[in-house]
Amino acid sequence: MSSSTPKPTPTPDQPKPSKPAASSKASKSSKSSKPAKSSVSKPVVIISGVTLAAVLLGLASYAGTKPTAPAAGTSDEASSSAPAEVSADPSAGVYPELEAYARRDKNDKLALGRADAPVVLIEYADFKCGFCGKFARDTEPALVKKYVDQGTLRIEWRNFPIFGDESAAAARASWAAGQQGRFWEFHKAAYAQGAKEKGFGKTRLTALAKEAGVPDLDRFTRDADSPAARDAVGKDQEQAYSIGATSTPSFLVNGRPIAGAQPMEAFTQAIDAAAKSAAAKGGTKGDAGSKR
């Protein structure tokens, strides 16, 4: 996609009729979510056009997640959605164009698991997103225990701040924590129950870094305000926009789109199918790396 291709803008309203919503468990921005300008040139995208990209993440994800209306008297976050359906054919619903977004960089400080794991789950998320927090607390730890610790799964984080300045600041702070090897500890602290209600102002972000065990808080502050942090977050945002993502959390599991904080079964089915497909193809990709 050329750099002049316009990016979709998330809104709190229902999607236009031609683009069905991806899931009832995905948070959408209440304001324009175009990323702040940075010195980073937009990445070259292998998908032919934003329309196709939106179809891949939008229509395919919607078909897979089939959201259910929340029960009366319950909040959206407490409501349930039907799990993503995974066909008996492990390649069904998988798009090689999207699978290629996995970086598999063993030096990626915002990734968890082996670089040569057969399955890569890419998560596009915002620290102010309640549904992202729900996934981080309720589902991700179980996926780590079941798949990451066994070498089957790699989780690659992408900062996708869509809720304004505090979202962007938290994203940069998470990147800064990662530069000192404490991204996942910061991630846990920022997604703790009630954490987002306290906001992500500068003082609060420093407190979260301290809670996460970031050793050099002065460096953390400098890194969080640096052009490098803005560029890194900008790259993640651009990738999310390039595949048509407009809500958080959004996921890719070896090229299979999943939208929203889906039940555990949705992820286990997708990961098992992806692992089966990878085994049939004869192995994994990339070089082996450390867990973090």
Give the pair of three-digit tokens for residue 80: 């349930």
pLDDT at residue number 114: 98
Give the pair of three-digit tokens for residue 91: 């390649």
**AA identity, residue 264:** M
pTM above 0.85, yes or no: no
Q: Provide the b/e sequence for 40-64 (b: ≥16 CB within 10 Å).
A: bebeebebeebeebbbbbbbbbbeb
Which of 80, 46, 51, 110 is CA-nearest to residue 239?
46
The rounded distance, in Å, linking the Cα atoms of 65 and 61 is 6
pLDDT at residue number 103: 97
Please say whether the dihedral angle defined by the alpha carbons of residues 196, 197, 201 and 206, taken in this order, is positive or negative: negative
**AA identity, residue 148:** V
Element (H, E) at 51: helix 50-54
Q: How far is CA 256 from CA 65, 112, 117, 119, in A?
A: 11, 19, 16, 11
- Residues whose CB falls within 8 Å of the CB of residue 34, separated by 6 or more in sequence, listed in order: 7, 9
- Residues whose CB falls within 8 Å of the CB of residue 79, separated by 6 or more in sequence, listed in order: 24, 25, 68, 69, 70, 71
pLDDT at residue number 96: 87
Contact 177, 242 (CB under 8 A): no
**AA identity, residue 271:** I
Bridge-based pairing state of the strands 250-253 and 119-125? antiparallel
The rounded distance, in Å, linking the Cα atoms of 287 and 226 is 30
The rounded distance, in Å, linking the Cα atoms of 59 and 62 is 5
Give the pLDDT of the chain (292 residues) as one tens digit per residue.
344 444 444 433 333 333 333 333 566 654 444 444 433 334 434 334 334 444 445 444 333 333 333 333 333 343 333 333 433 455 668 898 999 999 999 999 999 999 999 999 999 999 999 999 999 999 999 999 999 999 999 999 999 999 999 999 999 999 999 999 999 999 999 999 999 999 999 999 999 999 999 999 999 999 999 999 999 999 999 999 998 898 999 999 999 999 998 999 999 999 999 999 999 988 555 444 444 4
pLDDT at residue number 94: 86
pLDDT at residue number 93: 80
The rounded distance, in Å, linking the Cα atoms of 36 and 110 is 21
